[in-house]
Amino acid sequence: MPQVINSLHRLLPRRRWRRLLLGLLLVGFVAVNGLAWVQARASTHFVDAGEPISTTTLTTLPVAKLIQAALLGVPIPRPQNHHTPADHYLPYETRSIALANGEQLEAWLVPHPQPAGIVLLFSGYAGVKEGLLTPAAHMFEWGYSALLVDFRGAGGSSRSDTTIGMREADDVAAAVAYARAQWPDLPVALYGVSMGAAAIIRAAGVLGVQPVAIIAEGSFDRLLSTTRHRFTAVGAPAFPAAELMLFWGGVQTGYNGFANNPVDFAGGITCPTLLLHGERDAWVTAEETEAIAARVRGPAQVLHVPGRGHEMPFVYGAPELWVQTVRPFLDAAMGR
């Protein structure tokens, strides 16, 4: 009997420790997933107002602000346009592209009097069409009309959220259908930066959109890859943070972030494709860009822009190189 009592005394503390350990693990699991939910929500749903925190400056934030960003997410105000083509002395019209579900895309048409074609331009994550005014001005100068499009969630278009390239590919397809209906005799080329480039690649590679050419600046190869790079860039552990962000982001938006892979979509592209990549880009590597190009079934070329990071369009940081590369590529694709 004494031996049994002694055994019970030894077993009870062990059981308590096991329960405590399991409880701590459960609390940690819930806390980590809760933080991932908050971060995913903040990354995919824009706010009406507030002071945004750039992911490129997180490492310089005071500790209090850093804790706030970790607990509450990085707030991103809904992107808005503050400039128009008129600021570049360009003629323009505001167009509305109706979508099947009753939503709409807002676009600016910059009409050339004798266009050799039309280029549709799409911005990056949390961007708007005003950021595409300079490349559009060049294309107008070269003899092309331009249609600058706000994705849903930004500018004058419907909604206040983003799917980081998945639903945006549907917007690209809708804009192309609109352009072909309005100007059936004009060849259509697509130009996009970052998320806009990823959306174009999906539209052409998966949704059956067939432009005469694609110009894609800074597209990620996989959403998981670029998410990992962004955590690494701010000194945070990429695993399992990136995986949790994509999982909960998919739950919230209804799109599988793990399937958002332009490197896979590119296998369906048959038109000439120009990929531009900044040599110092911390979010997209040269190897990832080359991998996309290798999957394109049509003619593909890659330009690695010296000294540039993920600042796009590259026309701002490397204007001469951009013009020397983009213009002849576009002219050849348009049959000039």
Domain residue ranges of the chain, discontinuous segments joined by +: 2-72, 85-222+260-333
User: Which pLDDT tens digit goes with each residue over 283-317?
Assistant: 999 999 999 999 999 999 999 999 999 989 999 99
pLDDT of residue 72: 65
Q: Residue ranges of the chain with pLDDT lower than 70? A: 1-13, 49-73
- Residue 134's contacts (CB-CB under 8 Å, 6 or more residues apart) are 88, 313, 315, 316
In CATH, the architecture of 85-222+260-333 is: 3-Layer(aba) Sandwich (3.40)
Q: How far apart are CA 261 and CA 257, in angstroms?
A: 8
- Residue 252's contacts (CB-CB under 8 Å, 6 or more residues apart) are 37, 40, 41, 44, 45
Q: Which helix (H) or strand (E) holds 95?
A: strand 93-98
From the list 169, 152, 121, the residue with the least C-alpha distance to 265 is: 169
Crossing angle, helix 2-44 and helix 63-72, to 10 degrees?
90
Q: Which DSSP string do the residues of 65-77 spell out, in sequence order?
A: HHHHHHHH----B
CA 125 distance to own-chain centroid: 4
pLDDT of residue 22: 80
pLDDT of residue 8: 46
Q: How far apart are CA 50 and CA 29, in angstroms?
A: 30
Residue in the structure block whose two tokens are 């890859």: 225
End-to-end CA distance of the chain: 99
DSSP label at 334? Answer: T
Q: How far apart are CA 53 and CA 332, in angstroms?
A: 42
Beta bridge partners of 110: 146
Predicted TM-score (pTM) of the model is: 0.90
